[in-house]
Chain A
């Protein structure tokens, strides 16, 4: 049972344009959501997070939006840069999950110069 799903395995955008990565979850008990970025041959690194009491969190070029009623979150990157090319994982935690995080399958973002 995949509680966190990223339905797009890949996304390709032009440098300078907006990248939008999407994530859906099924467990309404989740109350904390995160995005991680992963480069080849490295471990995932934390990018940005959002608590369920908010619907938006911004950090520089990165903004995460949370729609609790739709159980959907998205990551916006504006403007996209070639160095943003990586695999992005959505993760959720909290509620009955305790300290564990449940990750999605990942989306490969490619930003073309």
Chain B
């Protein structure tokens, strides 16, 4: 398996633009997590899905953020409109039922100017 695949690796966008981050989890993993890494707060959980259903989105900072998982092999995190304070590295991770050992993707470094 190729692991968790995220795209793009880097994204530079102007304030106010829409940004879409993509994730393909490991096949057979039924949990998918979106995390954001910042210097101040480390890895923050934004939202997670179980069997494609959002379970907890309490970490989503504002209504500007939305996430979907239309099927077991794909998820998106969208920011509209983007702001400079959204600049961070966004990680997607997946895991199997009942296991804590997440597998992370390589992340998307987002820069909003």
Choose among A32, A41, A98, A101 the residue that contacts B102 (Cβ–Cβ < 8 A): A101
Residues of B contacting A93 in the complex (Cβ-Cβ under 8 angstroms)? 100
Choose among B40, B43, B98 the residue that contacts A89 (Cβ–Cβ < 8 A): B43
Task: Give residues 55-95 of A contacting B (CB, 8 Å).
Answer: 89, 91, 93-94
Q: Whole-angstrom distance between the alpha carbons of A98 and B44 in the complex? A: 16
Contact A104 B42 (CB under 8 A): yes
Q: Whole-angstrom distance between the alpha carbons of A91 and B93 in the complex? A: 14
Contact A49 B100 (CB under 8 A): yes
**Using a Cβ–Cβ cut-off of 8 Å, how many residues does chain B contribute to the interface with A?**
28
Which residue of A has the minimal Cβ distance to B102?
A101
A-B residue pair count with CB separations less than 8 angstroms:
62
Contact of A43 with B by CB under 8 A: yes
Known contacts A99-B50, A99-B98, A100-B33; A45/B104 CB under 8 A: yes
- Closest CB in chain A relative to B7 CB, distance in Å: 13
Task: Give residues 44-91 of B contacting A (CB, 8 Å).
Answer: 44-45, 48, 50, 55-56, 91
**Using a Cβ–Cβ cut-off of 8 Å, how many residues does chain A contribute to the interface with B?**
25
Q: Whole-angstrom distance between the alpha carbons of A81 and B101 in the complex? A: 24
Q: Whole-angstrom distance between the alpha carbons of A4 and B102 in the complex? A: 17
Please, what's the 1-or-0 string for A9-25, where 1 marks a CB less than 8 Å from any CB in chain B?
00000000000000000
Contact A32 B100 (CB under 8 A): yes
15 A-B interface contacts by CB (under 8 A): A2-B41, A32-B100, A34-B101, A42-B107, A43-B105, A46-B102, A46-B103, A89-B42, A98-B55, A100-B45, A101-B45, A103-B43, A103-B44, A105-B42, A106-B42
Among all A-B residue pairs, the 4 with the closest Cβ atoms: A43-B104, A105-B42, A103-B43, A46-B101
